[in-house]
Structure 1
């Protein structure tokens, strides 16, 4: 095993959260910080970039949730040292660090190791590695948005024979 420079998800929560933005508004009484304009938040391997990110904190100053909005907002994190980076995009991404949960709303997609899931709504439990996606039934008679899944073939089998 060679050492890796990327941090695994279990260590991310112990890292310092760093952020940059064009503007910042902090409401200390309600525990809400609003970052706007080319926002980037990083904590270890976790990176969220968006047009705006609202961070809600608990009374102990820990992060309760982050709500990122953009066209699209983007999330990425490496779950484990030996796993590929998970990338997600949607118009709105809500990340809850306490249970490591992502909710992606509108034009949502999640990609890892070449496999892609996309649809109007994706709910992703990063700990249990369980993804739930919901299509959009259009009741006005038009066609609704469906879930799309792309799973690439396992590489190496045909190449190994040569």
Structure 2
């Protein structure tokens, strides 16, 4: 029981995790999983099995989530992994942005997502696929890369207006 209270306190200390939805910045973060453990000394928290992170419209689902808080409050790095891990959020009242990859790395201070391994990002019916996708949440800018093999390339699909 005491260790659960310590882990909950550690979780709340990591609450600098916020993204682009205007109301999301003001809401608390809720992380749920089947198991969790961490090191207060090392400022690392791990959530395992059936992981869900929610903050406002933000939702991350993964098999495993590691939260690294070594750089301090508001500078945490969240690393979600799964087959695949997924992210979704409403951006400023627009249609949702959705992403999935083997690993989703969110850097709070930089406001970026890095999707690695079978990465896919979609919004408004358009989609980008690649080995690595870097996405700046504030600027809504992306960069996609292939795995360097000539057999696998970055793919982008543009949907016509009105089609999703």
TM-score (norm 2): 0.82
Does residue 127 (structure 1) correspond to residue 138 (structure 2)? The answer is yes
Q: SS of the counterpart of 2:76?
A: strand
1:155 is paired with a residue whose SS is coil
Q: Structure 1 residues 134, 23: CA separation in 2 closer, same or farther (over 3 Å shift)?
A: same
* Residue of structure 2 equivalent to 1:88: 99
Q: Which residue of structure 2 aligns with residue 145 of structure 1?
A: 152
| Counterpart residue number, 1:4 | none
- 1:1-162 equivalences in 2 (<5 Å): 9-58=21-70, 61-62=73-74, 64-81=76-93, 83-138=94-149, 143-155=150-162
Per-residue deviation at 1:135? 1.2
Structure 2 residues without counterparts, runs of 5 or longer: 1-18
Deviation at 1:62, TM superposition (A): 3.8
Q: CA deviation at 1:61?
A: 4.1
Q: CA deviation at 1:27?
A: 0.7
Aligned pair count reads 145
60 and 119 in structure 1: CA distance in 2 versus 1, 3 angstrom threshold: closer
Structure-2 separation of matches of 1:44 and 1:127: 16
User: How far apart, in 1, do the equivalents of 2:116 and 2:88 lie?
Assistant: 16
- Kindly state the Cα deviation for residue 113 of structure 1 after the two structures are TM-superposed: 0.8
The SS at the match of 1:136 is: coil
Asked whether the 8 Å contact 1:89–1:110 carries over to 2, the reply is yes
SS of 1:10's partner is coil
Q: CA RMSD in A?
A: 1.9
Question: Aligned-pair distance for 1:58?
Answer: 4.9
Distance 1:129 1:99, change over 3 A: same
* Structure with max Cα Rg: 1
CA contact (8 A) 2:20 2:137 kept: no
